[in-house]
Amino acid sequence: MEELHWKVLSLTAKRGVIGATREDFFRDIRGLRYEDLEDAIRSLEAEGFVQVEWTGPNKFILTVSEQGSHLAAEEYEKRLRSYQQRIDAQRKAVAGVERV
């Protein structure tokens, strides 16, 4: 999953039934361009992971679907395992030398 898609899905899933607004994304994702955000949203919507309610020009509320919620949980677990493996590998190394 692309990083921006993950950030959009993750933030939307965290907001639950309340949903996430355009302002939420710009506050939480640094260096975000509106065009990139809209592309990610439209892609996630086409795949059935989120629903978009357009409230005005360039304004929306994004909510996660059940399928999107499951994907967010799976991706979170996958990323958590990856981070834990990296931490374990770093703990095994002492000053750049692997412990025996």
**Own/partner long-range contacts of 86-89 (Cβ < 8 Å, ≥24 apart):** none
Half-sphere exposure of 1 (CA within 13 A, CB side): 22
Question: For 10-61, what is each residue's pLDDT tens digit?
Answer: 999 999 999 999 999 999 999 999 999 999 999 999 999 999 999 998 899 9
Phi-psi region of 59 (alpha: psi -120 to 50; beta: other; left: phi over 0): beta
Does residue 20 form part of some domain? yes
pTM value is: 0.82
Give the three-state DSSP class for 57: coil
Does residue 98 form part of some domain? no
Does residue 33 form part of some domain? yes
Host domain of residue 12:
3-93
Question: For 56-77, what is each residue's pLDDT tens digit?
Answer: 988 999 999 999 999 999 999 9
Total domain count for the chain?
1
Does residue 99 form part of some domain? no
* 21 bridge partner residues: 61
Does residue 49 form part of some domain? yes
Does residue 100 form part of some domain? no
Does residue 77 form part of some domain? yes
